[in-house]
Amino acid sequence: MNILLLAVLMGFYYWFSRLRFGYTFSSMLLQPVVIGVFVGLLTGNMTLSMQIGAGLQLVYLGVTSTPGGNVPSDPALAGCIAIPLGVLSNMSPEIAIALAIPFGVLGVFVDQLRRSTNAIWVHMADKYAEQANTKGILRAAFIYPAIAGFIIRFPIVFAIVYYGVDAVEKLIAVIPEWLMHSFEIMGGILPALGFAITLSVIGKKNLIPFFIIGFFATMYLSLDTMAVAIFATCVALLLNLFKLKDEVA
């Protein structure tokens, strides 16, 4: 696919996914694994795109909203930049994941800028409310913030994706092999860190045995991730069924 068109579409994707039109639908679009599907369809390289997206998804597995809706990193910006750059540059998933982390941190500052501009529309909506102007309130609540979000978010993704491919290829060409190997190790560790954060967020010691069972099923029984996921789903449904029977009894 033409790099210009891909950069434009990724910029639109990041902007649209952050509009929050329906929290369930919007939250789905923000996930790196979903972005991986989108990039795979655009580039035709679904395998590498999903490998990067799935690995990046594991990194942000434990990222949850904190008071005020702030998050320590933005998985959507990381995915919208790292996945297309990784696919176009044909880099390994581990390196792409390692390079994605700084973009996720950048997304936090982008979101803070967007929130600062929202104060303008809040005061504007107050004035429209005093005038009983419902159409003005609607514009201040949806249309104006959407336009401002586009101005803030679209150029960042577009510029980095469009101009970043050549820069990334040149960077990979000059990076020493030992440093490249270090990036691969770092990229391999980050998904495990995501699992660790998830366990700390859950904070329930009685769930740790399930994690250990899944780990041993993958490592020693040679089951792939999908098989373990299906088996775990069945176990969860059975446990829930037994719990319901105990409550009824």
Q: What is the pLDDT of residues 194-229, one digit of tens each?
A: 666 666 666 667 777 887 888 788 778 878 878 888
C-alpha count within 13 angstroms, C-beta hemisphere, residue 126: 6
Give per-residue burial for 202-237: e unless 16+ CB within 10 Å, then b. eeeeeeeeeeeebeebeeeeebeeeebeeeeeeeee
d(CA 79, CA 102) in angstroms, rounded, equals 11
Please tell me the predicted confidence (pLDDT) of residue 9. 94
Closest by CA to 87, choosing from 56, 54, 51, 49, is 49
d(CA 204, CA 211) in angstroms, rounded, equals 11
Q: Answer for the pair 93, 57: CB distance below 8 angstroms, yes or no.
A: no
pLDDT category at 154 given cuts 50, 70, 90 is very high
Q: What length is written for the chain?
A: 249
Q: Which of 4-13, 76-85, 160-169 has the lowest mean pLDDT?
A: 160-169
Name residues whose C-beta falls within 8 Å of residue 196's C-beta, 6 or more positions apart in sequence: 62
Q: Which of 38-42, 83-87, 174-178, 205-209 has the lowest mean pLDDT?
A: 174-178
Please tell me the predicted confidence (pLDDT) of residue 34. 92
d(CA 102, CA 46) in angstroms, rounded, equals 24
Return the DSSP state at 156: H
Please give the angle made by the CA atoms of 47, 50 and 56, to the nearest 5 degrees.
145
Place of tokens 């639908």: 25
Global pTM value: 0.72
